[in-house]
Amino acid sequence: MTAKEYLMQAYRLNELIDSDVEELEHLRDLAGRISSPNFDERVQSSKNYDPPFVKYLSDIMEMEQKIHQELCQLVVLKKQISESLEKVEDREERLLLTYRYFNNFSWQEISDRLCVSNRTVHRIHASALANFIVPE
């Protein structure tokens, strides 16, 4: 695994969690909608008819569980990455890698925070990746 692939794990997991949170909000929205019963349909006594929102409740609970598990994974992964970043000797490189892969900052945000040009940010990034030692 390359340094970039190793560091991108937390970034990608964070993106996945954000996507799952959006899906959870969508499910909650669907569950919150009230629909009226359709009295034109024949109700058979052998079937149990639940309100429409009930079918979304188990999906919501499953998604909440999934998000919780992913958050636990993210905490563990970020701890491992943080420990690895502490081993980077050059402070500017360590700071850049922390901003990019730990805090998910854009290249422009990193450039502004380090008070350097975008070109310099990419030069430091390349050097930082070359110097970063991927733990085994």
pLDDT, average across residues 55-76? 91
* Residue 115 confidence (pLDDT) above 90: yes
3-state class (DSSP) for residue 2: coil
Q: What is the average pLDDT across 45-68?
A: 77
pLDDT at residue 38 is higher than 90: no
The model's confidence at residue 30, banded by pLDDT at 50, 70 and 90, is confident
End-to-end CA distance of the chain: 9
> Does the pLDDT of residue 48 top 90, yes or no?
no
Burial of 40 (0-12, 13-18, 19+ CB in 10 A): exposed
Extract the tokens encoding 11: 């970034």
Nearest to 118 by CA among 91, 100, 94, 98: 100
The candidate with the shortest Cα–Cα distance to 99, out of 27, 116, 59, is 116
Mean pLDDT of the chain: 87
Q: Please tell me the distance from the alpha carbon of residue 118 to that of residue 115, in angstroms, as a whole number.
A: 10
* pLDDT beyond 90 at 64: yes
Average pLDDT value for residue range 91-111: 94
Determine which of 21-35, 64-78, 107-121 has the lowest per-residue pLDDT on average: 21-35
pLDDT-based confidence at 102, cuts 50/70/90?
confident
Please provide residue 2's backbone torsions phi and psi, each rounded to the nearest 5 degrees.
-80, 165
What is the per-residue pLDDT for 29?
86
Q: What local confidence, expressed as pLDDT, does residue 47 receive?
A: 57
